[in-house]
Amino acid sequence: MQFLCEQAAPVVRTTGGDVRGYCENGLTIFKGVPYAQARRFHAPGPAAWTGVLDATSYGCVCPLIHLGKPGGELLVPHRYWAQDENCQNLNIWTPACDGAARPVLVWLHGGGFSDGSSIEQLAYEGENLARWGGCVVVSLNHRLNLLGYLDLSDYGPEYENSGNAGGEDIIAALRWVRDNIAAFGGDAGNVTVFGQSGGGGKVTALLQSPAADGLYHKAFILSGILPSLLPDHQGSGRPLVEALLAELGLRTAAELETAPYRALAAAYQKVAPALEAQGYCTKFSPKRGAHYLGDPLQVGFRPETLHIPLMAGSVLGEFMAFGGFGVDRSRLTVEEGRAFVQKLFGEKDAAQLLPLFTAAYPDRCPTDLVFADTVCRLPTLDYLRRRAAAGGQAYGYLFVQDFPLEGGRTAWHCADIPFFFHNADLVPMGRALPGAARLQDQMAGALLAFARTGSPNGPGLPRWPATTPQDDVTMLYGPNSRAVQNHDRAFVQAFAPVAEEFGRRMREGGRVQTQH
């Protein structure tokens, strides 16, 4: 049956009530299913309703501090949805609601802990992965920014964990999956959590949150190991709260619960810069404490989660690759590429870096050195080795595929998502890429093998050994996907301080002029 949506079918009974989805092209799909409800700044509780809930449309997403402007659609195709604080909802794609015990993959969206949604990127659609891989895919929305991570713990026990309310939503969603996913054809005993960028930070936060133990069984982090994602919030949130109260003309924290969100957001945007200048952290992320134990790169991995297999990786260009500096790589000679590197970084740094880059990537034009990422790559290498040293099973990857944009572009932040979701055909760069079908088979295939067994290895896939405490092992995903050992750490370590200084100059208004 190609399509079915009737009053009586497909209907599934959940702990909150009955939901009606629809069937299309061999899948049964449910959208906007409430998994929890909550007062502002409070812990989530169960969601419940009467009658049959129409689950054929996406639910509202969390309101955002900044109202974004469309842009970069060729690189990261986006869409936008209605915003409302009642945003605790999830979406399910399943081959059938038949009681079969299929692997369950739960997606946590990017955008740090302040932005994004489960449907923001076109590549987040779970339909192709569920159909191609015979699995159940779940994506979810949760509270973000002020609603999810404003620390009001100084203002009474009812706000004890308000600085982690967004994380509590995610844990509530995983409890909902545990209690209900069998009715959707999924195995509650085989749940993989995966997320990209901020979503990857949320995966780490789950690993470091005791309340999440037992709710998931594998973990996958895409471009989500960045120190800036999980700053060490141990101090009081009082300075920010007091500034918000003063700006809004309010007296008590309780009054913040009913302040209009847009007024709250405007107040935050006004007071945050001055607080940052005084040394206070106003960025949104989980607060370290009893509920969340902190970034494992700072405090170590919890022994209770070391049995959970983990994959983690990033892409070659990440943030630097969003801009091409006007370079047409297809027209550059090797010598012109070397000259470009010298122009940006100077002869001394270029002389040190170029041999290291060539040793790591012998088939690449020297120009690509400029776009190589260190922000994600270096901490990801450390994360994998430390987890392996602690006794965990860890697999590392790097997405090195180039794309036919402006003479060739190295992979940018988010560029790997469509391939792990088997959604290359949903985005322009995927449709334009020769070999996209083979690459997404490899990448989605490794993800599904990992979800089933805890190892990304399987028939027809490139062999992918685990990282060891002594050696970096990296699956390079691209035209010639293969695992390599210790290939780029020396380059990344040498490049990191140079890239940081270059980034500082760029932020301060420096411009790069190129004539190629």
User: Among residues 475, 382, 377, 463, which one has the least CA distance to residue 420?
Assistant: 475
- Type of residue numbered 243: A
Query: What is the reported pLDDT for 514?
Result: 36
Residues 6+ apart with CB under 8 A from 386: 296, 297, 300, 301
The pLDDT, as a whole number, for residue 509 is: 67
SS3 176: helix
Read off the pLDDT of residues 424-464 as tens digits, 9 standing for 90 and up: 999 999 999 999 999 999 999 999 999 999 999 999 999 99
- Please compute the mean of the pLDDT values over residues 483-489 and round it to a whole number: 97
How far, CA to CA in Å, does 131 sit from each of 263, 332, 412, 417, 458?
A: 43, 42, 27, 17, 19
Reply yes or no on whether the pLDDT at 502 is more than 90. Answer: no
pTM of the entire predicted model: 0.96
**How, if at all, do strands 136-140 and 89-94 pair?**
antiparallel
- pLDDT computed for residue 506 by the predictor: 73
Give me Rg for the CA atoms of the chain: 23
Record the tokens describing residue 6, joined without a space: 């009737």
pLDDT in tens, 113-126: 999 999 999 999 99
Q: Is 113 in contact with 198 (CB distance < 8 Å)?
A: yes
Cα separation, 113 vs 222, whole angstroms: 15
pLDDT digits (tens, 9 = 90+) for 60-114: 999 999 877 788 889 999 988 899 999 999 999 999 999 899 999 999 999 999 9
- How high is the pLDDT of residue 510? 53
Which tens digit of pLDDT belongs to each residue from 356-404? 999 999 999 999 999 999 999 999 999 999 999 999 999 999 999 999 9
Q: What is the per-residue pLDDT across 154-213, written as a single tens digit (0 to 9) for each?
A: 999 999 999 999 999 999 999 999 999 999 999 999 999 999 999 999 999 999 999 999
Asked if the model's pLDDT at residue 515 lies above 50, the reply is no
SS (H, E, C) 292-351: CCCCHHHHCCCHHHCCCCEEEEEECCECHHHCCCCCCHHHCCHHHHHHHHHHHHCHHHHH
pLDDT at 511 over 70: no
Cα 197-199-203 angle, rounded to 5 deg: 115
From residue 425, give the alpha-carbon distance in Å to each of 132, 219, 419, 439, 461. Answer: 13, 26, 9, 12, 21
pLDDT on residue 473 = 98
Q: What is the pLDDT of residue 1?
A: 57
% residues pLDDT > 70 (the chain): 98
pLDDT surpasses 50 at 516: no
pLDDT in tens, 229-286: 998 877 889 999 999 999 999 999 999 999 999 999 999 999 999 999 998 889 999 9
Which residues make beta-bridge pairs with 297?
Answer: none
Query: Tell me, what's the pLDDT at 513?
Result: 40
Indicate if the pLDDT at residue 512 is higher than 70.
no
69 vs 435: CA distance, rounded Å = 32
pLDDT in tens, 33-66: 999 999 999 999 999 999 999 999 999 999 999 8
pLDDT number for residue 27: 97
Distance spanning both ends of the chain, measured CA to CA: 55
Delineate the domains of the chain, giving CATH numbers in brackets.
Answer: 3-232+288-308 (3.40.50.1820), 238-277 (no CATH), 312-507 (3.40.50.1820)
For the chain, give the mean pLDDT: 94
User: Is residue 474 helix, strand or coil?
Assistant: strand
Q: What is the pLDDT of residues 283-320, one digit of tens each?
A: 999 999 999 999 999 999 999 999 999 999 999 999 98
